[in-house]
Structure 1
Amino acid sequence: MYPLTVDQPYPRNQWWVAAYASELGRALLERDILGEPVLFYRTEEGAPVALAGICPHRAFPLVRGHLVGDAIQCGYHGFIFGADGGCKHVPSQQGIPQKSALRRYPLVERGNLIWIWTGEEALADPALLPDIEAIGPGNPDWAVEQHPLATVEARYTLLIENLLDLSHVTFIHATTIPGGGKVVEIPVTLTESERSLTVQRHGQNLPLNPLIQLQFPDQQGPVHQQFDAEYMGPCLIRTGGTISDATSGKALGIQNFLHMITPASPTRLHYFVNTARNFGLDNPALAAMNIGMGTRIQPEDIDAIETIESVLRSGATLPKEISARIDTGALKVRRRLEQQIRAEAMAA
């Protein structure tokens, strides 16, 4: 499936963000994850639970049931399944049918996020999670804003490629990001490690704009600013970076934009955005500004990739794809994703 050349659209041995931690409580929540309805709730002690969301008896959605203690009772014929997924009771008989257990998904609650493992349970290693504390969430030395979840009618790879080429800021976000007109002009370098790939743009001697002035009221002169796009896996891309005084080179602070991407299906995705900064922690104006900008910026990205998705679904004859030098990072990420998916297939 475009833009990948593998049959499986996404890797499954992977952590993804399933929900904000605040979304989970004693009320049942259903969310499609990699094409599967998943049921979420918390036990009476507060532990998060994720189970397959369809009753194996007659395919009734379990979100239409209710909790009995820490167990879920199907709203159709009353089958009861424990928080471990096992069938505990069938009202119409004494015994339990064979192979009646629900799939239980491993979860980790970290950085006020609920992470779900969608592959083989034995491989669900929390050490494979991105180091989110280093970039904001869960770190007491950072301020973090959680933006409303958006569900987007487009394949997740389109959003990954959108975020890896920030030259689009100059055009898609021409009126919403102060100073964004300069982004396309900034030279690009690429750095890679085993766990990440970063498309780096380091703007030099940029004039103060209203956003920078609000963030750093004492700043008088031009700044250096990083416009990085760091691929930390298909689940997370960090954009932003350090802002420094251009005269002294002294760092003023770091502003990160964290884009958590979770496929709902091959052509639909859940989009969680956090803004994180290590300055102005007690400044409510900065939090309000970040949320306000998000409500204007995010819909522009969503419109762009949903428009591309509609073209891909239209059946139109597409031109042969071309790429610019700036696309090197995105093309390398395509290969990384394909290698990850192929490695799973070979191990199966």
Structure 2
Amino acid sequence: MTTAAYPLTTQEPYPHDQWWVAAYADELGRHLLARDILGEPVILYRTQAGAAVAVAGICPHRAFPLARGRLVGDALQCGYHGFEYGADGTCLRVPSQSGVPQKSSLRRYPVEEAGGLIWIWTGAPEKADPALLPDLGAIGLGREDWAVEQHPLATVEARYTLLIENLLDLSHVTFIHDKTIPGGEKVAAIPVSVIESPQSITVQRKGENLPLNPLLAMQFPDQQGPVHQHFDAEYLGPCLIRTGGAMVDAASGAPLGIQNYLHMITPASPTRLHYFVNTARDFGLDRPQLGDMQRGMGSRIQPEDIDAIESIERVLQSGATLPPEISARVDNGALKVRRRLEAQIRAEAG
């Protein structure tokens, strides 16, 4: 295994025939939004009718960054020599001549707007199928009977697979987040089971008879006794991991609610990623203070995860001789995800 590929054994760092989150839906408007996705500059905007557009971000004339252009109606005008490209990527106009050069179009990426997110397909356009998107409604997005908070986008100087593995082994909560997650000191000791399906791999922890902590008491003010709580980590693809889960009254088994933490991960390059986080819950919809609390916790917790994986990335890029990698029993789910992701990448190459 080479350091460049770690933790994967493939030559290609990521799959392309895949939906990724390009932006929050409310980031897009009548302006140019530049974002690197899988190592390629992409320009995103909305047409005058409100449709989301994603096209390649480099002008094929003289490689000028189109982020320094402007919109002319629904067309994207290069800021260097004024070449104009339609929302479908077609070159429409060259101010210095009549007609346009051959092969002058921009790549247009298929996009879908779902769950308050702009999804981009980075593979062959004919393979782009909205049915391949994760089931967002099942985890609380795009539903009126759930409350959702969007957290600020973070761009992280680390390979996306490090964040995937961070999220799949929540025993780190006991140590990295020992001062920020109430009750987190118990997570590492909770037994783990791994549940596989064609759509997902879930590393499941079921905390039993957990005493009320300040977070649970705020979420469920009428709760008096201990709680059974899921600490799931569900891999729904390289683009999305769900953590959290259901909470029930330990004495009666009555459900209290579900709190999901939704981690959308998009590689910007082989060693850089965009990290979108949503929190979603099916309780307390009339209590906006719960959303404020989640945002406040997120502003403290997320930097701790980012610091951890950026620290690992610096080690990987340092040129140091790494010790042979070892794994613990708790890593079984993460290792299964590695193999599934490698198989996805190799299937494209094949």
What TM-score do the two structures reach when normalised by structure 2? 0.99
The equivalent residue for 1:16 is 20
Alignment match, 2:74: 70
Deviation at 1:38, TM superposition (A): 0.1
**Alpha-carbon displacement from aligned partner over 1:128-149 (angstroms, at most 9, x marks no partner):** 0000111111011100000000
* 1:322 corresponds to: 326
Question: Following TM superposition, by how much is the alpha carbon of 1:284 offset from its aligned partner in structure 2, in angstroms?
Answer: 1.3
Structure 2 equivalent of residue 290 of structure 1: 294
Alignment of 1:122 with 2:126, yes or no, is yes
> Is 1:38 matched up with 2:42?
yes
Residue in structure 1 matched with residue 237 of structure 2 by the alignment = 233
1:95 Cα deviation (Å)?
A: 1.7
Q: Distance between the aligned counterparts of 1:111 and 1:14, measured in 2?
A: 17
User: 1:57-96 alignment to 2 at 5 Å?
Assistant: 57-96=61-100
Q: Amino acid of the residue matched to residue 296 of structure 1?
A: R
SS, match of residue 189 in structure 1 = strand
Instruction: State the one-letter code of the partner of 2:315.
Output: V
**Distance in structure 1 (CA, Å) of the matches to 2:93 and 2:31:** 21
**Could you give the per-residue CA deviations for residues 207-262 of structure 1, whole angstroms, max 9, x where no partner exists?**
00000000000000000000000000000000000000000011100000000000
- Give structure 1 stretches of 5+ with no counterpart: none
Q: Using the alignment, how far apart are the partners of 1:77 and 1:267 within structure 2?
A: 33
In 2, the alpha carbon distance for the partners of 1:152 and 1:3 equals 17
SS of match in other structure, 1:149: strand
SS of aligned partner of 1:148: strand
1:222 to 214, 219, 226: 226
Deviation of 1:159 (Å): 0.2
Sequence identity, in percent? Answer: 77
Q: Distance in 2 between matches of 1:199 and 1:250?
A: 23
Could you say which residue in structure 1 is the equivalent of 2:159? 155
Q: Corresponding residue for 1:26?
A: 30
Q: After superposition, what is the alpha-carbon deviation per residue over 1:284-303, rounded to whole angstroms, capped at 9, x for unaligned?
A: 11000000000000000000
Cα distance in 2 for residues equivalent to 1:272 and 1:193: 25
SS of 2:161's equivalent in the other structure is helix
1:298-342 Cα shifts (integer Å, max 9, x gaps):
000000000000000000000000000000000000000100000
What residue is the counterpart of 2:341 in the other structure? 337
2:308 to 290, 297, 304: 304
Q: Cα distance, 1:27 vs. partner?
A: 1.0
Matched, 1:281 2:295: no
SS state of the match for residue 193, structure 2? Answer: strand
> Which secondary structure does the structure 2 equivalent of 1:304 belong to?
helix
Q: What amino acid is aligned across from residue 233 of structure 2 in structure 1?
A: A
CA distance in 1, matches of 2:45, 2:131: 24
CA deviation map 1:62-93 (0-9, x unaligned)? 11111111000101000000000000000111
1:185, 1:179 → 2: CA distance? 12
User: 3-state DSSP class of the match of 1:147?
Assistant: strand
**Match for residue 196 of structure 1?**
200
Amino acid at match of 1:284: P
Give the counterpart letter for 1:102 in structure 2.
Answer: L
Indicate whether 1:209 and 2:213 are aligned.
Answer: yes
2:55 maps to 1:51:
yes
User: Could you tell me how far apart the structure 1 residues matched to 2:318 and 2:66 are?
Assistant: 35
The SS at the match of 2:6 is coil
Which residue pairs with 1:265 in the alignment? 269
State the SS of the aligned residue for 2:152. Answer: coil
Distance of 2:307 and 2:236 partners within structure 1? 24
- The alpha carbon displacement at 1:282 in A equals 1.2
CA distance in 1, matches of 2:286, 2:105: 48
Q: Which amino acid aligns with 1:287?
A: G
Q: Distance in 1 between matches of 2:313 and 2:253?
A: 43
Count, aligned residues: 346
* AA partner of residue 147 (structure 1): H
SS at match of 1:276: strand
CA distance in 2 between counterparts of 1:218 and 1:338 reads 47
In 1: Cα distance, 2:292 partner to 2:37 partner: 30
Cα distance between partner residues in 1 of 2:99 and 2:288: 58
